[in-house]
Structure formats: C-alpha cells, structure tokens
Structure 1
Amino acid sequence: MGRAVVVGAGLGGLASAIALRRAGWEVTVLERRDPPAAAGAGMALWPNALRALDALGVGAAARDAGTVEIGGGIRTASGRWLAHVDAADLRRRQGDAVVVLPRPDLYALLLAAGPPVRAGAGVTRVEPGDAATTAVVHDDAGGRHPAELVVAADGLRSAVREALRPESTVRDTGQTAFRLVADHALDAGGESWGRGEYVGLGPLPGGRTYAYAVAPSAEVPAGDPLPWLRARFAGWHDPIPAVLDAVVGPVLVHPLADLTPPRSWHHGRVALLGDAAHAMTPNLGQGAAQAFLDAVALAAEATTDPASLAAYEARRRPAAEAVARRSRTAGAVAAWRSPLAVAVRNGLTAALPAGAASAALDHLLGTPLTEETAA
C-alpha cells in the first residue's frame, strides 16, 4: 500500500491508524493537541464495537479493562421499570454483552496499539489530490505530508470537512450532557427518564460508577454544575442521588450536537471518518462504535486508487447515518416534557414486547456474522 495521513488522534483516528497499518499502509497521525489525550468519564462498548475492536487486535484488552454490565434497561424518575435488557440473552444473540470502562483507559489502549502520534501538529490545509496527483496535508509548523490517502478524523467540528464539504453543518440539540465518575458500586445500569431530562448509569471497574445526565441547555447555570445536578435529581430513584453525592474528579459538560450529512464522505484522496462524517448524539451509545466500524471498513476497501473510497462510503454510509438519525430521535423522545407526551412515551415503552425490543437492538447492532449495522 501507500502513505496514509490521519488527521486527528481521537478514538476514531487512532482506530483508523491501527487498521490501516495492519493493512500495510505507511501511516502518519497528526494531532493538534500536545500531548494527545482523551478527556472523558466512561463509555459503554456494545457488541458491535467489541467486534470492531477485535478486528483491530485490541478487543480482548478492552474487555479486560472494563466491567461487563449484568443488566439494565429504562426506568422512570421514580424507579418504575419500563423495559429491561437481559444481558445473558444479549450475549447469546450477539456473542458479547455490554462492557463499560473508563474512556481514558480505552484511549490509552488504542494509543499504545497504533503508530506514533505527531502531537502539536495542527492541520492548516489539505490538498485533496486526485487519481493523477497525491494529496498533501499541511501542518501549522510548515510541514508537508504527501499521501495516497488522507483520513479526516478530526471530529464534529472537522476543519478538513468544513473546507471540503461546507454544506455539512453542526446542529445543536438544545440539550447539555454532564458526564462523571462516582466512587459508588452499582448493582445494575440503565437509563432513567424524567420530563425534559434523563440520567444513565453504568458499572466501572473498582466499584465505581459512570454516570451521565442530560438536561435542557437553557436551564443549565453557569459555574460548578455539581450542586445544581444534585438538587435537580434529588428526588429521583436510588441510587441516582447517592451516585451524585459520591462524584470524584471533574464533571464534564458538553452541549449535545450532531451533523447534517455531507453530500459525500470522500473528496479526491480524502475520506471522512467517525464524527467528521456522521457525528451523532450519544443516546444509542454508538458514536465510538460507528467510528471503529468505519476504520475497519476503510482499511478493507481503500487502495492507492482514490476511486476505492466510493466502496468505503457505500459500505458504511447507509448504516452509520441511519444510526445517527435513530440516535437523534431517541434523544428527543427521552427529553419530552409534556405530561401527556411523557405518559404516552412511557406507556408505549412498557408495552413493547421483549422480542420486538431484542429484534430492534439486533437490527441496530448487526450480528457477529454481518458486522455492519443495518440501515
């Protein structure tokens, strides 16, 4: 193979660098941050993410670094169960359960498994190239990086995408997410819905809990969010108040946004990947999983002929964008505020047969035989 330059050393960028090097590419990774690092609290790896990590050679290490969720589902703010996820049945159908681990730990695994990252190398311009000419990536230190393939993995606000596909824009959801780790052992994970806000919990190694909360951005005060979170969710079911009382480390605050789809995922020798191609809200827990699947597919399809990038896009775009649409819808439904809408939402969720819920989840995740999620 030829030379590949990966722009961005987030989870998707590191995954693509690993996959391309395993496929025989000479890979350079450019990252504007110095040192590169992944801020984050925790993350849940669903079976499709674990299968992709297996293809990258780090699946076993990711499983060892995390905690297997023993059960979960959806509850109301009072604690009434609306739906259950049977972890044993999920494992039977998918070959894996859900693994929850600290996001920085997963980042460290990928960083160690890939080629060296050139930190402090922000990209200023990309010449996309074509079938007759190589691409050239220019960094802010004056460096030039010729390549037969450029992977734009520089996130939701990708500078490469904005230059090449300006029609694709960031969409604010009007919601803000709070992510944190607590020194609290958890018996079961899952998500709880209120009116306009929701909370999720997952077990981390060492008797800790990963938690997230989402609330309307217009209601979020300035300053330290923790006292406000404790007051807002004080009347919710156990163990949510106890988890918020046991927070260790910072509370990470992020306005939630996704992306209007670009006309194409590739231009010349440049391929978009992960959030740069299909940034999605976190409601289905699929952002990183879809980036990992992109990385595996790109390494399988890309050659030194830029026309090969059409096969990558055809393989991944329908599924990834379908997941992004479903995730945005799921987030909007979870954040409904009207008492009537909330009652209808909760009633329909509780009435959904277990078999239908399992089928919908399998449709989202794909299967061990198909690897791709269904569109």
Structure 2
Amino acid sequence: MSRPDLHALLLSHVPSHKIHLRKRVLSMLQSNENGVFVRTSDGSTHRCDILVGCDGAYSGVRQSLYSLMKKESDAFKNSEGGSESGGSIEEDWRASKLPLGPGNSYITIGDLISSTESDNITKVMLEEKLYITWHHGRTGLMGDACHKMLPNAGRGAVNAMLDAVILANSLYEVAKDASYPNIRSAFKEYYDERFPHAKADLESSKRIASTLSG
C-alpha cells in the first residue's frame, strides 16, 4: 500500500472537524493534573486532556516536553544526550568502503572527505536515535519522535503503527476514568510494552547497516 493510500484510509476514519491543519505545536506551557496547555503556530493556545507527539525526528513536542522536564528537575538535564555529532561520525566511518563497480574497486568515506573542499562539507546531527524518555505527565511520544530507525530495515512505519495500536489500547482502558494517575499509568504501560521492541529493531537496523557498509 502506498503512503498516500494509507493516509487516505486513516483520514477516512477521522471526523473532519477533529482535524486541525497549520497548528504546529510551538511550545508546551504546562502539563499537570489540570491538563496540557500548548501554544500553536497560529498564535492560539489549547488545553488538552493528553498530548501525543507524532511529529517526526525533529519533534517540536519532544523538544517542548524535554524543556519542561529540565525546568522541573535538574536530574533530567543529562539523562537525554544529543545525537552523535558529525565529527564522531567522520571518524567512525572513514574506513567504510563504497563499491565503485565490478571487481574489488571501491572508495572509502575517508577518500571522499579528503577530496572534498571543507567548505562543501556540512556536519549534521544523526537523526537515528532511541530516546529513553517517551512520556511525562499527560504527554507522550510516538514514532520517529522517540525512536528514529535507520531506513534499511524498513521498520520505521511499522513501529509507528505498533506504537499507535498499543497506546490507543492503553488509553482505551482508562477512558472511563481519565484521571491524572490513570493517564500516567496508561503511558507507562505503553512505554513498557513498546520500548524493548523499538530498541531491538533499532539495533537490528544498525547491524544491517554495518554489514552493508563492509
């Protein structure tokens, strides 16, 4: 199934009045027993019972959640390290071989770096990462926002859909009594179920990448 067809299928089951476009979350004002308060890109502020960030590897919800947690606890400040820097990637991958054609002809990543003007080389942060913290209070994360897979294993979309199913089931169980403790418990149940599987898939995709790179 193509992605457009999948999107159309999913959208067909959501009432149109529940879909709000051009409302990217810019910041989370607070998340506590009274609800989640967020400010969106159109300048409006919203109160939600829960907030789930499914907004990709550069998740604004994750950044807002972590910023809020850092303010609440000094212990959190060093618990989620940043992605691996470009410099360390260069050292790790210098000897990696890229085949050029028939036979044993190849070029290494180091060769490419050495033959390229420094002004034309840009260091970027790795997208691929498994975050330890997926939820706090009434806010949770799903998909690439909390576990960005390498593409070679084809597990990114599958894991995102599994996240959605498990979290939906966990929240359904507490829907009749959506108290603050129950919502937190639902997020924890979701995390406990999904984290080990996401970790295993990320490690698997890393091994595949290592094998393919020689």
Instruction: Report the TM-score when normalising by structure 2.
Output: 0.66
Is the CA contact (8 Å cut-off) linking 1:283 and 1:330 kept in structure 2?
yes
Residue 310 (structure 1) shift: 0.7
Matched AA of 1:123:
V
CA distance 1:217–1:284, shift in 2 (3 Å): farther
Residue 146 (structure 1) shift: 1.2
Is the CA contact (8 Å cut-off) linking 1:128 and 1:267 kept in structure 2?
no
CA distance in 2, matches of 1:274, 1:161: 11
Is the CA contact (8 Å cut-off) linking 2:65 and 2:139 kept in structure 1?
no
Matched AA of 2:194:
R
> Which ranges of 4 or more aligned residues in structure 1 deviate by more than 4 Å?
171-175, 215-220
Aligned residue number for residue 161 of structure 1: 62
1:133 matched to 2:34:
yes
* Partner of residue 325 from structure 1, selected from 171, 182, 203: 203
* Partner of residue 257 from structure 1, selected from 93, 111, 127: 127
Percent identity reads: 32
Unpaired stretches in structure 1, ≥5 consecutive residues: 1-100, 176-194, 198-214, 221-254, 337-375
CA distance in 2, matches of 1:139, 1:146: 11
Counterpart secondary structure, 2:20: strand
1:274-295: CA deviation from partner (whole Å, max 9, x where unpaired): 0001111012111000000000
CA distance 1:105–1:283, shift in 2 (3 Å): same
Aligned residues: 167
Aligned residue number for residue 51 of structure 2: 150
Matched AA of 1:124:
L
CA distance 1:263–1:257, shift in 2 (3 Å): closer
1:121 matched to 2:34:
no
Alignment of 1:88-107 (within 5 A): 101-107=1-7
CA distance 1:300–1:145, shift in 2 (3 Å): same
CA distance in 2, matches of 1:119, 1:288: 22
CA distance in 2, matches of 1:285, 1:172: 24
Aligned residue number for residue 158 of structure 2: 289
Counterpart secondary structure, 1:257: coil
Residue 219 (structure 1) shift: 5.2
Q: Which has the higher strand share?
A: 1
Counterpart secondary structure, 2:27: strand
Matched AA of 1:136:
F
Q: Which has the higher helix share?
A: 2
Alignment of 1:177-188 (within 5 A): none
Residue 137 (structure 1) shift: 2.0
CA distance in 2, matches of 1:326, 1:294: 18
Residue 112 (structure 1) shift: 2.7
Is the CA contact (8 Å cut-off) linking 1:157 and 1:170 kept in structure 2?
no
Alignment of 1:184-223 (within 5 A): 195-196=97-98
Alignment of 1:1-375 (within 5 A): 101-116=1-16, 117-130=19-32, 132-165=33-66, 167-171=80-84, 195-196=97-98, 257-259=127-129, 261-302=130-171, 303=174, 304=178, 305-308=182-185, 309-336=187-214
CA distance in 2, matches of 1:161, 1:168: 13
Aligned residue number for residue 102 of structure 2: none
Matched AA of 2:62:
R
CA distance in 2, matches of 1:111, 1:164: 27
CA distance in 2, matches of 1:216, 1:108: 41
Instruction: Report the TM-score when normalising by structure 1.
Output: 0.39
Unpaired stretches in structure 2, ≥5 consecutive residues: 68-79, 91-96, 100-107, 114-124
Is the CA contact (8 Å cut-off) linking 1:128 and 1:269 kept in structure 2?
no
Q: Which has the higher contact order (CA 8 A, sep 6+)?
A: 1
1:196-234: CA deviation from partner (whole Å, max 9, x where unpaired): 36xxxxxxxxxxxxxxxxx969959xxxxxxxxxxxxxx
CA distance in 1, matches of 2:134, 2:24: 22
Is the CA contact (8 Å cut-off) linking 2:83 and 2:126 kept in structure 1?
no
Matched AA of 1:272:
L
C-alpha RMSD of the superposition: 3.2
CA distance in 2, matches of 1:319, 1:326: 11
